[in-house]
Amino acid sequence: MLHSSLRRASVSITALALGVFLIAGCGDTGSSDEGSGPRRLTVQLNWFPEPEFGGLYAAKENGHFEAQGLQVELVKGGADVPAGQLVASGSVQIAVVSAAQLVTLRAQGGRATAVFASFQKAPRAVVVKEDSKYDSLESLWAGEGRIMADAGLPWTRWVNHRFGDTKLRFVPYAGSLAPFLSGEVVAMQAFATAEPVQLEAEGKSVRTFLTADTGYDPYDVVLAVHDDLLEDDPDTVRRFVTALTGGWEDYLEDPASTNAVIAKLNPDFTSATLELAASRLPAFVRSPDTESHRLGWMSEDRWKTLLEQLVTIGELTEERRTGVGRLFVNPEIEPDSSEGVPGPDGSPGND
Amino acid sequence: MNRMGSTWSVVWPPLVFVGIFILAWELVVVAFGIPLYLLPAPHEVVEVLWSESDRLLPATGRTALATGIGFFASAVIGVISGSLLSIVPLARRGIYPLTLLLQMVPLVAIAPMLVIWFGYGLPSVVAAACIVSVFPVIAGTLDGLQSVDKGLLELFHTHRAGRIRTWWLLGLPWSLPSIFTGLRIAAGLSVIGAVVGEFVGAYGGDQAPLGSVITSALRQNRTEVVFAAVVLASALGFLLFGIVNVAGWVLLRRWHASKV
């Protein structure tokens, strides 16, 4: 565990260098493989393979992408893989990003649009040990000690805004749980469906404080597509979202086979841990919106609230806010995949 | 007058090239409409250096402290180890090849270990700076001591000077030029070591040094802040290099041909 965590940390640093290199060499790779055969898409994840990408892996493993005429490659990320920049610049066609990241990228001229919100409730959280004296995020924020988190991210600034500037000292989180386990840090940032579950699986009881409960509840895991793909080939995007919706439905219903795949890709997770994590997903992935529309559906109000909050904490200037433009679309999906794969624009891809 | 003229002749060529480079960079960014998050224009970097100086200058100070301590430690450890290796032949044959490992160790891979061994904050960052910068000093010291004029060694020998005395009065002064070559290389390396150490081991938030500013800014798509921090880190490297050069000049100017 310790070793693999360390390896992850070092891998993520290497990824930082690699990511910068990738961006530097960016070009327009938006459209590839216009010939016959399945349409190829690359999806850049923003973290190691984990349950929050369950729908993507399920859509791939269970043939939903294939049924839509898509050949999708899922590229794993890490602490410093700049997934947002990669998709905003068109170096990859699709990436998993946070809504806040998408806003700041668009404000700087980035060209990417959200098409699917995997998580309806933000899973962003802070964990402390069960025997900690802190029983809420507010009490922790008033406390002292080290927290393994990034001080500059919007959620920490929001919490500062809510509870006052903290005296906690921030140390970097590069993917290793070791400093938390050894007590070097009193708290760490987390995804409610990942780290707390890993820690519990190791026999460490923790308390999880969701930032959503402080009022900061954006779409934290969205699939963003490069604008060229969305504008030139909306049908491919529609098919992608259709397949992804199917993938998430599968994963929520029966995650076992997909978990086996994720466990193989990420040795930090065992199948048992993944099973426990998956059991917590429905609370985040389903919402009244997904009941009345479909999984991944996004509401205008939620995006507006995020913009206001980003202005409040100074992440976004009023001036730039107006230049953000289109942040998301909700592509119409095929109501039932049995209707087959449409190709109105003549795009090949039926199999 | 002549002296000033010669200084100017050293200074202007790099300045002109830096000027051309910055101008070309600015033109490329404007001409191709490269968005800020991919590559900021030089004027945007300068703007952020100014507007966020209240955060960037203390960060530079923190990195300078770690770099300075790390470099000093490298200098002391490097000269002492190089000398020991020179004085004890068995150690030279047995240990010197192993010190090469310091040169080859991928710092990014062991940086997380440094945090576990030394704890967060200054100690692990200093260790990172020292590990990557100590080898050139060891090599420089050893090379210098190995190349001491045989005739002079004979002279010290006939006067029955002991090893320590010979080292202090002959070997060390003789080796100063090559020690300073090692120190010049170590100056730049210690900045790199400190910044990489900060990526994983330093405090963030309002106690952030340049390395933490860089990682945090990368995650927030603040590319102009990343560049500003890189400019400041480079400036630190130049400053330390300059200090080493001045020290070398002061020590060597009276008698050595290689004086800067």
Is the minimum CB–CB distance between B208 and chain A shorter than 8 Å?
A: yes
Q: Is B38 on the interface with A (CB under 8 A)?
A: yes
Please tell me the predicted confidence (pLDDT) of residue A25.
Answer: 43
Question: Taking 60 as the threshold, does the pLDDT of residue A26 lie above it?
Answer: no
Each domain of chain A, given as residue ranges in start order, spans 2-120+219-339, 124-214
**Could you tell me which chain B residue has the CA closest to the CA of A19?**
B218
- The predicted pLDDT at position B59 comes to 95
Q: Give the tokens for residue A334.
A: 């095929």
Range A69-79 average pLDDT:
89
Instruction: Please state which of the ranges A109-118, A163-172, A340-349 shows the lowest mean pLDDT.
Output: A340-349
**CATH classification number, A124-214, choose in 3.20.20.150, 3.40.190.10, 3.40.50.2300, 3.90.870.10:** 3.40.190.10
What is the distance, to the nearest Å, from the Cα of residue A146 to the centroid of all Cα atoms in its chain? 25
> How far is it, in rounded angstroms, from Cα B165 to Cα B145?
13
Cα(A243)–Cα(A148) distance, integer angstroms = 36
Say yes or no for a CB contact (<8 Å) between A80 and B220.
no
A9 touches chain B (CB under 8 A): yes
- Contacts A–B by Cβ distance under 8 A: 104
Kindly give the parts of chain B with pLDDT less than 50. Answer: 1, 259-260
Q: Is residue A350's pLDDT more than 50?
A: no
Closest chain B residue to A166, measured at CA: B205
pLDDT at B161: 83
Q: What mean pLDDT comes out for the span A20-33?
A: 44
pLDDT band at A29 (very low <50, low <70, confident <90, very high): very low
CB within 8 Å: A151 and B208:
yes
Indicate the class that CATH gives domain A2-120+219-339.
alpha beta
What CA–CA distance (Å, rounded) separates A274 from A54?
Answer: 10
Structure letter (DSSP) for residue A350: -
pLDDT on residue A217: 93
Residue A308: count of CB within 10 angstroms of its CB: 11
The pLDDT tens digits for A297-332 are 999 999 999 999 999 998 888 888 888 889 999 998
Residue A31 pLDDT > 90, yes or no? Answer: no
**pLDDT for residue A6:** 45
Q: Evaluate whether A2-120+219-339 and A124-214 have a shared fold.
A: yes
Q: Which two tokens stand for residue B227?
A: 């560049």
The span from the CA of A76 to the CA of A78, in Å, is 7
In A155-184, the residues whose Cβ lies within 8 Å of chain B are 169-172, 174, 176, 178-179, 182, 184
Whether the full predicted model's pTM is greater than 0.95, yes or no, is no
- Dist. CA B162–CA B167, nearest whole Å: 8
- What pLDDT was estimated at residue B160? 86
Q: How far apart are CA A101 and CA A108, in angstroms?
A: 11
Predicted pLDDT at A36: 66
> A194 with A262: CB under 8 angstroms?
no
Q: Which residue has the higher pLDDT, A255 or A13?
A: A255
CB A79 within 8 A of CB A12: yes
Can you give the pLDDT at residue A343?
A: 40
Query: Which three-class secondary structure string do you get for chain B?
Result: CHHHHHHHHHHHHHHHHHHHHHHHHHHHHHHCCCCCCCCCCHHHHHHHHHHCHHHHHHHHHHHHHHHHHHHHHHHHHHHHHHHHHHHCHHHHHHHHHHHHHHHHCCHHHHHHHHHHHHCCCHHHHHHHHHHHHHHHHHHHHHHHHHCCCHHHHHHHHHCCCCHHHHHHHHHHHHHHHHHHHHHHHHHHHHHHHHHHHHHHHCCCHHHCCHHHHHHHHHHCCCHHHHHHHHHHHHHHHHHHHHHHHHHHHHHHCCCCCCCC
Q: Give per-residue pLDDT as tens, A102-157.
A: 999 999 889 999 999 999 999 999 999 988 889 999 999 999 899 999 888 899 99
CA–CA dist B162, A182 (Å, integer):
51
pLDDT recorded at residue A35: 56
Q: What is the pLDDT of residues A199-244, one digit of tens each?
A: 888 888 999 999 999 999 999 999 999 999 999 999 999 999 999 9
Residue A151 CB neighbours (<10 A): 22
- Has residue A336 got a pLDDT over 70? no
A2 pLDDT exceeds 70? no
In this predicted structure, what is the pLDDT of residue B4?
59
- What pLDDT does residue A19 have? 47
